[in-house]
Amino acid sequence: MQSKAGYLTGKLIELILTLLLVSLLVFTAFSIIPGDTARVMLGPQASESQVDLLRAQLGLDKPLPVRYGEWLWGLLSFNPGTSYAYNMSVSELIGQRLPVTLGMSAIAMVMVIIISYPLAILSARKPGRLGDQICSVIGHVLFAIPPYVASLLLILLASSLFSLLTVGTYVKPSDDFLGYVGCLLLPSFAIALPKIAMSFKFLRSSIIEQRNADYVRTSKSHGLSDLKILVRHVLPNSNVSSITIISIILSDILGGSLIVEQVFNLPGLGRLLLSAISRRDFPLLSGIVFYLALITVLLYFISDIASSLADPRIRLK
């Protein structure tokens, strides 16, 4: 069995190599997209000399390996350059929009946990019974609703509760934290609905699997109640599956939030990303994609470490 230090070192190496590969793919993809950024910025009426001059100013006339090295160094130093369209630092632009996307993702994840865990425990205690069947049907229905459809339904619902729930407006956390949380509740719930169903399904299966294990029958023979067995043994042994599915769901939530932001008119990374695509703003576009990929890779890295701590057998050679 590997030591904790050796396992951690191996995972760090994997993390670094993954990020380097992601950076190379992102840079290559955006470099080979048809179209000329300088031409898009200047418009069709600009002369070739004006376009060539702007390309030189933006560094677009340099060889690809040189541009990749400069771009990668900028990412690593958290200074990926200046946005062509906004004439602002990419880091500053992302920093302004990140609280919206991360806030929605965090609230959605809390909703997933506090709803799916009790439902999974309730359903798995008596599988096949009426309660389990009702929970399973609800889970299938929620899983079938895309986030953007859930967003539209929630907006229609909130229109009759407009005095209680704010739709289409954004409050900065520095101005009013409760207002900030309030304006993100509905979009977060729209994102969380299918993820609640996903988490419920995996957790229910994991709990049922653990309840059928030999150690549960041994615990019952020793006189332990079902509740004690559930709390002391079944749930802790389900941690590895729980950690894995939570990391997968959280990464999905980050991607789903980009779509929901458009429906609820929130100034998050989703709107910024679409603006960068339409304007061929390479520094901003690549910066958003890379940093979202960085957050996702870090989530899986943390998940691997947490899983190894919950179950040391994962560190087998």
Q: Which of 45, 260, 314, 316 is nearest to 148 (CA)?
A: 260
Check residue 159 and give its pLDDT.
Answer: 64
Q: Among 26-30, 62-66, 224-228, 294-298, which is the least confidently predicted range?
A: 224-228
Q: How far apart are CA 181 and CA 140, in angstroms?
A: 28
Task: Quote the Cα angle for 6-8-10, to 5°.
Answer: 70
Q: 41-74: b or e for each residue (b if 16 or more CB lie within 10 Å)?
A: beeeeeeeeebeebbeebebeeeeeebbeebbeb
**Which residues, at least 6 apart from 152, have a Cβ–Cβ distance to it below 8 Å?**
263
Q: How far apart are CA 246 and CA 243, in angstroms?
A: 5
Check residue 284 and give its pLDDT.
Answer: 86
Q: What is the DSSP letter of 231?
A: I
Whether 113 shows a pLDDT value over 80: the answer reads: yes
Whether 61 shows a pLDDT value over 60: the answer reads: yes
Q: Does residue 102 or residue 254 have the better pLDDT?
A: 102
When pLDDT is averaged across residues 29-45 and rounded to a whole number, the result is 70
- Residue 310's pLDDT band (boundaries 50, 70, 90)? low
Is there a contact between 187 and 151 (Cβ–Cβ < 8 Å)? yes
Check residue 259 and give its pLDDT.
Answer: 78
Q: Among 15-19, 39-43, 93-97, which is the least confidently predicted range?
A: 39-43
- Cα separations in angstroms, 86 against 210, 279, 288, 312: 54, 10, 14, 49
What share of the chain in percent tops pLDDT 90?
Answer: 1
Write down the mean pLDDT value for the chain. Answer: 79
Whether 2 shows a pLDDT value over 60: the answer reads: no
What share of the chain in percent tops pLDDT 70?
Answer: 89
The 10 Å Cβ neighbour count of residue 33 is 11
- Residue 225's pLDDT band (boundaries 50, 70, 90)? confident
| pTM for the whole structure | 0.78
- Cα separations in angstroms, 36 against 40, 45, 58, 110, 245: 6, 14, 12, 43, 42
Q: Domain spanning 97-279 has what CATH number?
A: 1.10.3720.10
Whether 267 shows a pLDDT value over 60: the answer reads: yes
Q: Does residue 28 or residue 226 have the better pLDDT?
A: 28
Is there a contact between 10 and 17 (Cβ–Cβ < 8 Å)? no
Q: Where are the domains of the chain?
A: 97-279
Top mean pLDDT of 65-79, 105-119, 145-159, 294-308 is at 105-119
Q: What is the DSSP letter of 175?
A: T
pLDDT digits (tens, 9 = 90+) for 291-304: 888 888 888 888 77
Check residue 313 and give its pLDDT.
Answer: 59
pLDDT digits (tens, 9 = 90+) for 165-186: 566 677 888 888 888 888 888 8
- In sign, the C-alpha dihedral spanning 276, 277, 282, 287 is positive
Side-chain-side CA neighbours of residue 230 (13 Å) = 15
- Cα separations in angstroms, 151 against 168, 178, 196: 11, 21, 15
pLDDT digits (tens, 9 = 90+) for 193-223: 888 888 888 888 888 887 777 777 777 777 7
Dihedral Cα 215, 219, 222, 225, nearest 10 deg? -170
Q: How far apart are CA 82 and CA 179, in angstroms?
A: 32
